Structure 1
Amino acid sequence: MGILSRASYVVRSKLNSLLNRAEDPTETLEYSYEQMRDELQEVKQGIADLTTQKKRLEMQKRRLEENVEKHNEQAREAVRQDREDLARQALEKKQAKMSQIEDLEAQVSELQSTQDDLVEQKNELQNRIEEFRTKKETMKARYEAAEASSRVSEAMTGVGDEMNDVSRAIDRAEQETDEMEARSEAMDELADTGAFDEAISDKDKIDRELSSGRTDAAVDSELATLKSDVDGGTEETSSTTAESEGENKTNSESETSVSDPAVETELEELRDDENN
């Protein structure tokens, strides 16, 4: 096979493939159905024309038959008038008309036979057209159903691909969400442990421990003060009366007592220690 032949074959193959893809079977069936209907119409028109010709011949035959009857009357009238010559002429014309009638009858008979054949073919063709119409509608319905099913399948395939993409997107979103939640929990944990405070503070570890110790000492001191206030309030209630009774005695004793230098010295030392 030469290059040109191969190229021509490839081109024809490509064109045939394109035509097959472009061809709509339902349109082909409709076109075939219309062609058959056109043929039926032509057959009906042929039958009508044939019937018209037959009717024309039948009308001509009836006129000839009327002429035959007329020539019979002429021949009888000529015989009554003893005009044999006229009677002969009338009979000769009658015979000519009779011959024409026989020819017309043969033609009419032939046309009738042809008409019967055409009518039979017309009926057969009409039946075939009706059968084809039924098959056409059935095939059209099947094709449309198959086409709809194919479109649904293609759509479902497309949706399946999209759903796969959506599923992957959801997986990525869940993974990122888990990472963000873990990151948030880690940040909270670091904040609770003071890691951020340590990172941004200028104090070293010793300073932070000393500061914590001072804070603890201040808390302990305030707690002791509170306890002392609570205990003192309880004792104050029980000793109020005794203090009231002994107040005068104390005042009188202080007035009458003599200052002891040793006691004064010890008191002064206690005051100095308290101030320091």
Structure 2
Amino acid sequence: MGILSRASYVIRSKVNAVLNRAEDPHETLDYSYEQLRDELQDVKKGIADLTTQKKRLEIQKRRLEENVEKHNEQARQAVEQDRDDLARRALEKKKQKMSQIEDLETQIADLQNTQDSLVEKKDTLQRRIEEFRTEKETMKARHEAAEASARVSEAMTGAGDEMENVSRSIERARDQTEDMEARAAAMDELEDSGAFESALSDESDLERELDELRDDGEVEAELETLKSEAGTGGGGGDSTGGGDVDIELDDDAESVAADPEVEAELDDIKRDEEQ
């Protein structure tokens, strides 16, 4: 198969596929039925024309038969009048008319045979058309039922896929909701058990203990410094009188006690110790 032949075959295949998709069975059946009815009408018209032609020949035959009778009568009259010549001429015309009648009878017989054949074909075609009409309506009803069934099946298939997607969406939403509910319940349980407060309080206690240790260290260091300073001063001036030192310390204590900032710091220390 050459390239052109293959291309032509492919094109015809594509065209047939397009025509099959575009073909409406209802329209095709109705068109075929109308075509058969048109053919039946053509057959009936042919029978009518043939019958008309036969009737004309029959009329012509009757006229010839009348002429035959007329010529026969003329021949008798001529014989009665001893006119053999006229009688002979009348008989010759009679013979011609009779010969024409025989030809007409042959033609009429042929037309009658043709007419009978056409009538038989017409009856057969008419029966087939009636059968086709019944089958056409049956096929149209079956096609409509099949088409409706196909649409329902497609709708059910589409609905099944859609419902499956909806079910999956609902299942995912249910899982997410259950996870959120579980988390919320867990948070409520931890909050009720005080786990959050203990975690916060532990952190606060740790910070507070570190602050206290740092403050205690500073106090101890300062105390040690004071002790060192006090010990050094007492060792160098026992005879000179420690009263001056005591007086100076008392003065410092009074000055410290009178300082508002110092008082505020002392109050803060007391509050921290109470807590």
What range describes the TM-score normalised by the shorter chain of this pair? 0.5 to 0.7
Cα distance change of structure 1 residues 6 and 110 upon mapping to structure 2, 3 Å threshold:
closer
Alignment-mate amino acid for residue 37 of structure 2:
R
1:195-243 residue CA offsets vs partner (Å, 9 max, x unmatched): 6778999x9359xxxxxxxxxxxxxxxxxxxxxxxxxxxxxxxxxxxxx
Distance in 2 (alpha carbons) for counterparts of 1:4 and 1:92? 75
Moved more, 14-23 or 97-106: 14-23
1:120-154 residue CA offsets vs partner (Å, 9 max, x unmatched): 11111212222222222222222222222112111
Once the two structures are superposed, the pairs formed by residues 203-214 of structure 1 within 5 Å of their partners are 204=204
Cα distance change of structure 1 residues 4 and 84 upon mapping to structure 2, 3 Å threshold:
closer
* Structure 1 partner of 2:14: 14
* Structure 1 partner of 2:59: 59
Distance in 1 (alpha carbons) for counterparts of 2:4 and 2:101? 70
**1:82 match: secondary structure:** coil
**2:82 match: secondary structure:** coil
The two structures, once aligned, show a CA RMSD in angstroms of: 3.0
Cα distance change of structure 1 residues 204 and 62 upon mapping to structure 2, 3 Å threshold:
same
Alignment-mate amino acid for residue 181 of structure 1:
E
Aligned-pair CA distance for 1:179: 2.5
Alignment-mate amino acid for residue 59 of structure 1:
I
% identity of equivalent residues: 76
* Structure 2 partner of 1:243: none
Cα distance change of structure 1 residues 7 and 116 upon mapping to structure 2, 3 Å threshold:
closer
Once the two structures are superposed, the pairs formed by residues 97-112 of structure 1 within 5 Å of their partners are 97-112=97-112
Once the two structures are superposed, the pairs formed by residues 1-276 of structure 1 within 5 Å of their partners are 1-193=1-193, 204=204
Distance in 1 (alpha carbons) for counterparts of 2:80 and 2:11? 94
* Structure 2 partner of 1:229: none
Alignment-mate amino acid for residue 14 of structure 1:
K
1:62-99 residue CA offsets vs partner (Å, 9 max, x unmatched): 11112222222322333333333322222222222111
Report the TM-score, using the length of structure 1 for normalisation. 0.65
Unaligned runs of 5+ in 1: 207-276
**1:49 match: secondary structure:** helix
1:148-171 residue CA offsets vs partner (Å, 9 max, x unmatched): 211211111111110111101111
Distance in 1 (alpha carbons) for counterparts of 2:171 and 2:138? 48
Distance in 1 (alpha carbons) for counterparts of 2:13 and 2:70? 78
Aligned-pair CA distance for 1:101: 1.2
Report the TM-score, using the length of structure 2 for normalisation. 0.65
Cα distance change of structure 1 residues 113 and 12 upon mapping to structure 2, 3 Å threshold:
closer
Structure scoring higher RCO (CA < 8 A, sep ≥ 6) equals 1
Distance in 1 (alpha carbons) for counterparts of 2:14 and 2:100? 67
Cα distance change of structure 1 residues 3 and 75 upon mapping to structure 2, 3 Å threshold:
closer
Aligned-pair CA distance for 1:119: 0.8
State the aligned residue count: 208
Unaligned runs of 5+ in 2: 207-275
1:39-78 residue CA offsets vs partner (Å, 9 max, x unmatched): 2211111111100000000111111112222222322333
List structure 1 segments (4+ residues) > 6 angstroms apart after TM superposition. Answer: 195-201
Distance in 2 (alpha carbons) for counterparts of 1:180 and 1:191? 16
**1:204 match: secondary structure:** helix
* Structure 1 partner of 2:264: none
Distance in 2 (alpha carbons) for counterparts of 1:189 and 1:117? 105
